[in-house]
Amino acid sequence: MRIALNARILQAPRTGIGQYLIELIAALDADPSLELEFFHGWGWSRQLPPAALPGYSRWVAWAKQVPGAYRIRRLLEQRRFERGLRHTAVDLYHEPSLWPLDFPGPMLMTLHDLTHVHYPQTQPADRLAEIARCVEPALERARVILTDSQFVADELQRHYGVARERLKVAPLGYAQRFHPRPLADLGRVTAPLGVRPGSYLLCVGTLEPRKNLALALRAYALLPEAVRRRYPLLIAGMAGWRRDDFAAELQAALASGQVRLLGYLDDERLAELLAGARMLLFPSLYEGFGLPVLEAMASGVPVLLSPSSALPEVAGTAGTYVEAGDPEGWCRAILRLIEDQAEWQARRVAGLEQAQGFSWKRCAGITAAAYRQALEH
């Protein structure tokens, strides 16, 4: 079975969907019945690019200023896609995001979330217009639609009327680099940041309103001064759309010296930094899965999170849940996970156990079954 996979997202620095694609492809490679062909936006290959496209961030900045940039890019990609298909016979096309290219044969897509529906204000207008133009026809064309969680599958049924039999839930997994590590081994990554392993709090995610970073900042500011001095708050993630919505709070927090903005981190550095955190703070308002939550649990790090969207499917009973609009409750929960070692250890063990239910092997197995279902349609 020869599968065409759109890997254009790997031009960008590898966050959620990029990590999904990298890990899924690695797991699918173990299936001898599958042969994968990758479309990279400019051409075809059987190899994945080793890193993001140089200058990608400059293209994004340019696209913000040029009307119709997303449409123009898609038209060019469609032509290159079709040109490659003349020389590459494939049985099925898998699109790992919202907007598949036109394909003359059976198509399967992965829809990770409905952010464009619930938080359209977090999307640039051009991109949102292209999503609106493409997503409903794509959902009609797709023989099977994969989702990361039952939550998103249920949303697709309610919002778009997608029949249940066309939906397959394929929960994500975690990479092998996410595992418990001795704190003594983590000084290399923490020392340049001026923090000690086990003595900092961590937020991971793109800096945008949906991630609700403002709540983490407010809760952190309510902690006693002595606690903040002992446990700095580190924030790892790229700048996203509408970061200005909480810029004032962020700047005030950074000025204190107790909050540090790290920007985008490479895979291994992030894994090491996560393993050394006292806890992960994940106050997101909306997630189709919440990969950092799973990665933290697999690393032996307790997670404090909001009980929203798909997050309870991932964290189960291992998570410490506080409502997303309750900074005082978040402050109390942070203090408990700092001061109560027995509770911290219980959350750590529960998280490690919960993480064992997720793997990229399982995700790939469900995906391969979905390929066969799409071809038998």
**First-to-final CA distance of the chain:** 15
Q: What is the per-residue pLDDT across 269-321, written as a single tens digit (0 to 9) for each?
A: 999 999 999 999 999 999 999 999 999 999 999 999 999 999 999 999 999 99
Q: At 285, which CATH number?
A: 3.40.50.2000
Extract the tokens encoding 291. Answer: 């990969």
| Pair 233, 364 in one domain | no
238 with 324, same domain: the answer is: yes
Percent of the chain with pLDDT over 70: 90
The answer to whether residues 371 and 320 belong to one domain is no
What residues are paired with 44 via a beta bridge? 39
Look up the domain containing 56 and give its range: 2-173+359-376
Answer yes or no: do 248 and 265 share one domain.
Answer: yes
pTM of the model: 0.91
Taking Cα atoms as reference points, which of 248, 246, 255, 254 lies closest to residue 283? Answer: 246
Residues 94-118 have pLDDT tens digits of: 999 888 999 999 999 999 999 889 8
In this model, does residue 246 exceed pLDDT 80?
A: no
- Say yes or no: 230 and 204 in one domain: yes
Answer whether residue 132 shows pLDDT above 60: yes
Does residue 363 sit in the same domain as residue 350?
Answer: no
Predicted pLDDT at 54: 61
Nearest 5°: the CA angle 273, 123, 202 is 15
C-alpha torsion sign, points 85, 86, 87, 92:
positive
Q: How far apart are CA 29 and CA 298, in angstroms?
A: 23
**Whether the predicted pLDDT of 156 surpasses 90:** yes
Residues 235 and 337 in one domain: yes
Kindly tell me the burial class for residue 233, based on how many C-beta atoms sit within 10 Å of its own C-beta (0-12, 13-18, 19 or more). Answer: buried
pLDDT in tens, 309-329: 999 999 999 999 999 989 999
Q: Is residue 226 part of a domain?
A: yes
- The torsion angles phi and psi of 359, rounded to 5 degrees, stand at -160, 155
Q: Is residue 240 part of a domain?
A: yes
Whether residue 28 sits in one domain with residue 168: yes
Assigned token pair, 332? 């109390």
Whether residue 178 lies inside any domain: the answer is: no
- Indicate the SS3 state at residue 279: strand
Same domain, 363 and 344: no
| Cα gap 108→46, rounded to integer Å | 19
In a domain, 36, yes or no: yes
Q: Is 166 among the domain residues?
A: yes
Element (H, E) at 358: none
Contact 375, 91 (CB under 8 A): yes
When divided into structural domains, the chain yields a total of 2
Let me know whether 274 and 150 are in one domain.
no
Higher-confidence residue: 50 or 185?
A: 185
What is the per-residue pLDDT across 215-240, written as a single tens digit (0 to 9) for each?
999 999 999 999 999 999 999 976 65
- 52 pLDDT band, cuts 50/70/90, is low
20 & 165 share domain: yes
28 within domain boundaries: yes
What is the per-residue pLDDT for 12?
A: 72
Q: Please state, rounded to an integer, the average pLDDT across all residues of the chain.
A: 90
Encode burial over 275-308: b for 16+ CB neighbours within 10 A, e otherwise.
bbbbbbbbbbbbbbbbbbbbbbbbbbbbbbbbeb
Which string of DSSP letters, residue by residue, matches 200-237?
-EEEES-BSGGGTHHHHHHHHHTS-HHHHHHS-EEEE-
The confidence score (pLDDT) of residue 130 equals 81
Please tell me whether residues 187 and 249 are part of one structural domain: yes
Question: What is the spatial order of strands in the sheet that 320-321 belongs to?
Answer: 259-263, 233-236, 201-204, 279-282, 303-305, 320-321
Q: Is the pLDDT score of 124 beyond 80? A: no
305 versus 377: which is more confidently predicted? 305
Q: At what angle do helices 291-298 and 341-355 cross, to 10 degrees?
A: 110
